């Protein structure tokens, strides 16, 4: 999950991340079409059928706060570049000094808006030193937000029912899953109707090819890149497809691209259980902690609450009924950063009083739902659509109830209840998805790529530390930077050891002699 994986207000800094691997690899450029290769803006050769994308003229306009914006046109289907096109929205914060080049940034997701990330908070995306040294570029990946956005349900009431609607049957039963499957079929049909042909073309390889066009149009011979969470997967795929074009690349909160969807979800849920224990150990010594006793007994009381809340009939002031899956969503949202733990205490204290509103505040933030009942972006739709475009849930042969049990064993506090609104929904939708799963790389060594920095946090709840260790080994030029602490992603959050290490690499190309273990 990435604040989670249906990103909300905090999601940009903590973007879900699943490693979704496919069964093959597309050619670097589509075959056929013939024609001589011609130089693009950076003097490189590109196939004639791609020339119009690599040589298009960008029209920049001011979009506030010293940031300018533009759109890039790319093929919907990279294997048929003469077919339909889609647009990718870009925001640029120009370097305050002489730029070393452009630094492309992705906040994660899938579904996070890099455009908003840079336009609204460039000073928090990177350090002031990097902000002075690079034109920082945010982009909305294909289908996201301002980039020819995919929106499945266009009515907020329909989206509310999809995300918060309760069921006539109890969670975990055959009747519940049958009801969920009917809803999933309707949602997938709405996606197909409203996606403008993008379903089946939202995968990381398509986005990576879009990123290469952006690199060329910005005049950079190599891609300098900062990716968070799922953004690390985009960086990994780019490096595999275009290793000779990798510049200085930082992957923070790494995704392990070799792990199947179900195993990734189980590992991630275990990470949230671990973060919940860390929260509890922080909370219990405080006089205003809503729990007493030791950590084990307090965690058991949370599980008991999740087991019984469905029968309590708690309602928010807007009439929505609170269920266990929504409680788990609210809890998970507050586990992405140590700084959110006081809000988690508030959630538990208010829930003990029967007040559902506080839980919905954090669940709404997770889902991108505004106070007036509207939705701020399409990150939830994109998260599910990309998972189905890339993933294995429809074909892994695992029964949904066996999958729920596997997740619950891995995460015996939150697992099952978080999985009702995540794994089970994904399983139902992807099993009825109206597009083929994309072919994606299965080798992630990126031979010949320049050194790639992989950052892992030892108690990252969303992308566990082992992911970073694996990715750094998979990449032939990968090197690991460890932060010993809590939270999902860490660069540009005031940890000097991390910031200094990343800045030295991005600005001077300095690779540490060994893992600094910050």
Q: Which long-range contacts (CB under 8 A, 24 or more apart) does 344-351 make?
A: 344/279, 345/283, 345/288, 345/289, 345/290, 348/290, 348/291, 348/302, 349/290, 351/305, 351/309, 351/314, 351/327
Helix, strand and coil content of the chain, in percent to the nearest 5, comes to 45, 15, 45
Listed in sequence order, the residues at least 6 apart from 159 whose beta carbon sits closer than 8 Å to its beta carbon are 153, 375, 380
For residue 224, indicate whether it is catalytic. no
Residue of 148, 229, 274, 345 marked active site:
229
CA 421 to chain CA centroid, nearest Å? 17
Angle between helices 324-333 and 357-367 (to 10 degrees): 70
With beta carbons less than 8 A apart as the criterion, state whether 112 and 17 touch: no
Question: Strand, helix or coil at 252?
Answer: strand
For residue 460, indicate whether it is catalytic. yes
146-157 core/surface letters (b: 16 or more CB in 10 A; e: else): bbbbbbbbeeee
Residue of 460, 477, 499, 503 marked active site:
460
Dist CA 124 CA 8 (whole Å): 17
Residue of 93, 201, 224, 488 marked active site:
488
In 371-477 the beta strands, taken as DSSP E runs, fall at 452-459
Question: Of 397, 395, 379, 401, nearest to 433 (Cα)?
Answer: 395
Dist CA 484 CA 12 (whole Å): 22
With beta carbons less than 8 A apart as the criterion, state whether 465 and 472 touch: no
Dist CA 189 CA 158 (whole Å): 13
The secondary structure of 76-119 as a DSSP string is SSTT-TTS-EEEEEEEEE--SSS---EEEEE-BTTT--HHHHHH
Question: Strand, helix or coil at 478?
Answer: strand
Residue 317 CB neighbours (<10 A): 9
Q: Please tell me what DSSP assigns to residue 71.
A: E
512 — alpha (psi -120 to 50), left (phi > 0) or beta? beta
Give the active site residues. 229, 460, 488
């Amino acid at each position: 999950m990435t604040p989670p994986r249906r990103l909300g207000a905090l999601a940009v800094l903590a973007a879900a991340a699943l490693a979704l691997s496919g069964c093959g690899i597309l050619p670097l450029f589509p075959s056929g079409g013939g024609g001589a290769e011609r130089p693009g803006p950076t003097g490189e050769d590109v196939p004639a059928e791609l020339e119009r994308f690599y040589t298009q003229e960008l029209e920049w306009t001011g979009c506030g706060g010293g940031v300018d914006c533009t759109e890039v046109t790319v093929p919907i289907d990279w294997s048929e570049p003469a077919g339909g096109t889609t647009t990718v929205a870009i925001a640029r914060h120009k370097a305050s000094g002489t730029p070393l080049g452009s630094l492309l940034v992705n906040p994660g997701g899938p579904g996070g808006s890099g455009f908003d990330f840079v336009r609204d908070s460039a000073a928090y995306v990177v350090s002031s030193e990097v902000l002075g040294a690079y034109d920082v570029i945010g982009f909305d990946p294909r289908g996201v937000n301002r980039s020819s956005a995919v929106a499945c349900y266009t009515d907020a009431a329909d989206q509310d029912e999809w995300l918060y609607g309760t069921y006539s049957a109890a969670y975990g039963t055959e009747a519940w899953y049958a009801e969920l499957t009917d809803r999933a079929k309707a949602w997938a049909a709405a996606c197909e109707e409203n996606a403008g042909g993008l379903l089946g073309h939202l995968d990381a390889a398509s986005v990576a090819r879009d990123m290469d066009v952006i690199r060329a149009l910005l005049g950079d011979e190599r891609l300098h890149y900062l990716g968070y969470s799922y953004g690390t997967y985009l960086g990994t795929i780019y490096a595999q497809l275009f290793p000779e074009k990798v510049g200085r690349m930082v992957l923070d909160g790494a995704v392990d691209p070799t792990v199947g969807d179900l195993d990734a979800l189980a590992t991630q849920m275990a990470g949230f259980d671990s973060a919940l224990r860390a929260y509890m150990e922080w909370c219990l010594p405080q006089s205003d902690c809503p729990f007493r006793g030791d950590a084990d007994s307090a965690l058991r009381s949370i599980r008991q609450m999740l087991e019984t809340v469905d029968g309590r009939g708690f309602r928010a002031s807007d009439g929505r009924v609170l269920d266990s899956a929504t409680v788990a969503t609210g809890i998970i949202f507050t586990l992405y950063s140590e700084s959110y733990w006081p809000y988690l205490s508030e959630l538990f204290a208010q829930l003990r009083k029967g007040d559902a509103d506080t839980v919905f505040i954090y669940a709404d933030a997770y889902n991108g739902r505004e106070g007036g009942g509207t939705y701020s972006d399409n990150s939830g739709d994109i998260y599910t659509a990309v998972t189905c475009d890339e993933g294995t849930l429809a074909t892994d042969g695992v029964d949904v109830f066996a999958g729920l049990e596997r997740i619950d064993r891995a995460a015996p506090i939150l697992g099952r209840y978080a999985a009702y609104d995540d794994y089970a929904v994904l399983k139902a939708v992807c099993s009825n998805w109206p597009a083929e799963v994309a072919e994606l790389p299965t080798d992630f060594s990126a031979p010949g790529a320049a050194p790639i920095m992989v950052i892992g946090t030892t108690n990252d709840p969303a992308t566990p530390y082992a992911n970073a260790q694996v990715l750094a080994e998979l990449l032939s030029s990968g090197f690991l930077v460890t932060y010993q602490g809590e939270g999902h992603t860490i660069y540009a959050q005031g940890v000097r050891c991390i910031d200094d290490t990343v800045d030295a690499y991005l600005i001077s190309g300095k690779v540490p002699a060994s893992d600094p273990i910050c």
